[in-house]
Structure 1
Amino acid sequence: MKTFVAIVRNRHFGRTAQEMNMTQPAISSRIAALENELGYRLINRNERDFSLTPEGERALQSFESILGELDKLDAGLSGLDAPVLVPLRIGAIDSVSSTWMPHFIDALHQRFAGLKIELTVDGTEPLLRGLRKGRFDIVFAIQPLIGEGFRSFRSCTLQMVWAGSPKLIEADRIYSVASLADMPIISFPKDSPPYQMIAPYFHDEQVLASKLTSCNSLYAIINLLVDGFGIGAIPTVTIMRELKGGLLCPVKVSKRFPPMPIIATYQSSTHQDLVRIAVEQANQSAALFCEQVEPGMAWIG
């Protein structure tokens, strides 16, 4: 049962073998024996993407319930709290890791003593690929992952602002889209979700922004902006320190940049209790953060 639950969580036989310190043939043999015992196929093996049969879905619910009760029994006999035996694997973009992610992780640690959390900070596309392949339990990105076994919700929305060094920006000037396009712009890599927000901003006005420098790190972009290499559209909450310290200043524009949604997507099929609690805590942490920042910079929904 533990082997089956681990395979569903990892969505991959090889990674399950590595996690359980076993060979892949041994893992396959266990699943084959389990299917033979039950008399039903549990995993679809002829599809490119990992999926369970209807019987596999029912077996997963039963196995997790049984294993959970065994953990509670063991903990009760020993007088200890039931341990969380698997790490919670979280993926997040920079804009989340630098804002309400610390509160989220601290709250989870307070609720689950000994909980191991594996946090990966990356771009939206790598995070969604990793979630699809079973490398994450929940990710916070700009876009959702659509597919069987995944659920998504909007965690919060972040205000976006054009910003640059005071060496480049005229504080009292209102910049048109065309005037912004004439300036050097620091953006995220082409075809990435953040870039897909920037491109229409200019294209809708039939303006071409030709002086583009791409970078896949929010922190590096902020440093480039501070050093005066260009302007960029980034979440306001991520540069509050630089704005207050005068290292960056907001650009007054004739056309506002659209806000950035933060979408949470999680595996809905395994470790339902832990993931469910993590989802609830993510909502609470995001809501608390939005209440603490200045109005209009971040909001729920």
Structure 2
Amino acid sequence: MRDLDMVTFVVLARNRHFGRTAEQLNTTQPAISSRLAALEAEFGCRLVHRGDREFQLTLEGERVLVVFKEILGLIDRLKDSVKSPDGHVPDVVRIGAIDSVASTWMPHLMESLQQIAPNLRVELIVEGTQRLVAEMVNGEFDLIFCLDPAIGDGFRSFNVCVWEMIWAGSPKLIDEARTYDVDELAQMPIITFPKNTPPYRQIAPYFQDESVLASKMTSSNSLFAIINLLIAGFGISAIPSITIQRELEMGLLRPIDVSKRFPPMPIIGTYQSSTHQDVIQVVVEQARRSARDFCDNAAGKTAWII
């Protein structure tokens, strides 16, 4: 969804006329109709009643209008907050993210922020959840995206998206014709994140629920390293499927058919609630939009919004 589409809808709702809206936005009436159709296709519902002589929004259109006005107002305030007469950048937003976020929808967020506030400087650090939360508490970040929230009076947390988790491994290790139970998985070498990290906290109960302990584990704090170890055939791993789509398509990795599914992994955002709120609120809203757009375009049930 483009900012232009939101502006078009707000102006259309105010003018209540396609021709006047096209004139005000210096475009054509078919272009206005096309933008409206794109919005309705994205939301999956009608936003404007058709066939009546009098222009009228649907109930869904009224709700969308309220949200669009809020978003555009936040964007305007952000642009004002980062303007300076001498061209210097007065504000920096410090964002931390785990690598599964950095490698998926984070580039879209960075691009959208560059478009709406080119003077805003963004510092992005990619770390594990434990370190991100600790540094957030110490004031090192304005906003983080990871697997645990930062807890405290000065923080606000929200659910961003959810990753599907699958067991995967090299074709050298996996028999595609088999369905593996927990005992069989436990007999294979397993690659996971280090002990006491959120992904490990999901791995351990997966086996302990069945009174089974993994016989051999290799750990790494890097998703990139884990993927390379999987490709090399060093073991299997429970991993977000969205992060290995290319490797699956190329046949470098295979999903494992299992009798017990691995629980999905929620991505949580936490932001400072006391510093330059106009800027932070816009970044949070853009992050929600970037994650939603990414999930909407993700294949199958690999990623979704709660």
Equivalent residue runs for 1:199-214 within 5 Å: 199-214=204-219
The residue matched to 1:266 in structure 2 has which SS? strand
Q: CA deviation at 1:73?
A: 12
Equivalent residue runs for 1:231-250 within 5 Å: 231-250=236-255
Q: Give CA-to-partner distance per residue, 1:154-187, whole Å, 9 cap, x none.
A: 1000000100000000011000001000000001
1:156 is matched with: 161
Quick one: distance in 2 between partners of 1:102 and 1:211? 36
Q: CA deviation at 1:145?
A: 1.1
Quick one: distance in 2 between partners of 1:152 and 1:72? 24
**Does 2:284 correspond to 1:284?**
no
Q: 1:175 to 1:270 in 2, by over 3 A?
A: same
Q: Give CA-to-partner distance per residue, 1:87-125, whole Å, 9 cap, x none.
A: 110000011001000001110111111221111101001
Is the Cα–Cα contact under 8 Å of residues 81 and 279 in structure 2 kept in the other structure? Answer: no
1:98 is matched with: 103
The residue matched to 2:243 in structure 1 has which SS? helix
Q: 1:152 to 1:73 in 2, by over 3 A?
A: closer
Q: 1:189 to 1:73 in 2, by over 3 A?
A: closer
Q: Give the alignment's TM-score, normalised by structure 2.
A: 0.72
Quick one: distance in 2 between partners of 1:184 and 1:72? 53
Give the RMSD, CA atoms, in angstroms: 1.9
Quick one: distance in 1 between partners of 2:112 and 2:270? 19
Aligned residues: 229
Q: 1:72 to 1:268 in 2, by over 3 A?
A: closer
Q: 1:97 to 1:73 in 2, by over 3 A?
A: closer
The residue matched to 1:253 in structure 2 has which SS? coil
Quick one: distance in 2 between partners of 1:278 and 1:136? 13
Quick one: distance in 2 between partners of 1:123 and 1:291? 26
The residue matched to 2:123 in structure 1 has which SS? strand
Quick one: distance in 2 between partners of 1:252 and 1:244? 17
> Which residue, 195, 199, 202 being the options, matches 1:194?
199
AA aligned to 1:94 is: D
AA aligned to 1:89 is: R
Q: CA deviation at 1:83?
A: 6.4
Quick one: distance in 1 between partners of 2:217 and 2:82? 60
**Which blocks of at least 5 consecutive residues in structure 2 are unaligned?**
1-76
Is the Cα–Cα contact under 8 Å of residues 94 and 218 in structure 1 kept in the other structure? Answer: yes
Quick one: distance in 2 between partners of 1:289 and 1:74? 30
Is the Cα–Cα contact under 8 Å of residues 82 and 119 in structure 2 kept in the other structure? Answer: no
Quick one: distance in 1 between partners of 2:238 and 2:226? 10
**Does 2:184 correspond to 1:183?**
no
Quick one: distance in 2 between partners of 1:132 and 1:74? 29
**Which blocks of at least 5 consecutive residues in structure 1 are unaligned?**
1-67
AA aligned to 2:225 is: A
Q: Give the alignment's TM-score, normalised by structure 1.
A: 0.73
Quick one: distance in 1 between partners of 2:245 and 2:228? 14
